[in-house]
Amino acid sequence: MGYEPIPVWPGRFIDVEGGGRLHLRATPEGPRETAVYVHGLAGSATNWTDLMGELAGEVRGVAVDLPGAGHSPEPPDGDYSVAASATAVVRLVEALGDGPVHLFGHSMGGAVSVRVAATRPDLVSSLTLVSPALPDLRPRYGPARIALSAAPSIGELAVRWLSALPPERRVLATVSMCYADTGRVHPDRLREAVEELRRRDALPHAVMSMVGCTRAIVREYFRFGEDNLWRQAGRVTAPTLVVYGLRDRLIHARMVHRSGRAFRDVRLVTLPHAGHVAQMEYPELVAREARRLLAYTRMPPRRTA
């Protein structure tokens, strides 16, 4: 691989309303507009490092560790639901005080971001989703494994069993599941992931965080009524970009059709060679599409006769 990856962005803690504390990583001050990045299941703010670098000249990037993930402490009430994570993101945006932000969400973070954009449109200038975990009940191998790990008692046992495996083995398994081309992962990124997993293994809430988030996203797949995520997608008013990888083993790219029907003002992009983490595997391509959305939001409104 002929490039050296950029270092992860500096981290700091921020106190938010309700007594919560979140860890975030941010690009330097500069651009007037702010983008907030929300990671997926078992992820962290570092999942956005390269995309944040690509867009640093366009927006100030702020990537959050959701409660219990990354360096953020576990939620005091033990609530790992999508709704609770959405509340945490809302409180973060309010604490930043930068006005409406360009909101980015990946996988479970995409579900969280849809809920934020639907319920607090005043805080969201645009919405970019990468392989969002929106309900799809058709059986597939990857999601079936996630559903099994969310089952009562089985979930804790499964996560504890996995935690006993060497971190190198677990990282390679995750990379194989999430990337279409594992050759695109720089050795330094693998080393960083192993070190982070070792740190997470030592945390007392690591198992319950993983199980709690897994159960949260599975519950959303079976939620009906007005709070169903697809219905909430229909209430999003912000201009939206949805990116799918055609080689995604977790979120099927066929969901692009439903996304096209659900969101009001949406641009759909499929990347033929990308897997589940397009923002990490092809950050330059995702950045190119994100710039188009940013330019669109900056266009003056058209006057009607």
- Please list the rounded mean pLDDT of every run of 10 residues in the chain (305 residues): 83 92 95 95 97 97 98 94 97 95 98 98 98 81 50 56 84 95 96 96 92 91 93 98 97 95 98 98 98 94 57
The whole-number pLDDT of residue 299 equals 85
User: Element (H or E) spanning 106, and its range?
Assistant: strand 101-106
Residue 140 DSSP class: -
The whole-number pLDDT of residue 158 equals 61
DSSP result, 57-75: TTSEEEEEE-TTSTTSPPP
The whole-number pLDDT of residue 156 equals 57
The whole-number pLDDT of residue 154 equals 47
Whether the Cβ atoms of residue 248 and residue 276 lie closer than 8 Å to each other: yes
283 contacts: CB under 8 Å, gap ≥ 6: 50, 51, 53, 54
Q: How many C-beta neighbours within 10 Å does residue 73 have?
A: 15
Q: Which of 126, 133, 110 is nearest to 240 (CA)?
A: 126
Domains and CATH numbers, the chain: 11-298 (3.40.50.1820)
Q: Which residue has the tokens 């938010």?
A: 16
The whole-number pLDDT of residue 166 equals 93
Distances from the Cα of 255 to the Cα of 43, 127, 136, 248, angstroms: 22, 17, 8, 11
The whole-number pLDDT of residue 134 equals 96
Q: Which residue has the tokens 């691989």?
A: 1
Is the whole model's pTM more than 0.85, yes or no? yes
Residue 240 DSSP class: E
C-alpha 157 chain-centroid distance = 26
The whole-number pLDDT of residue 76 equals 87
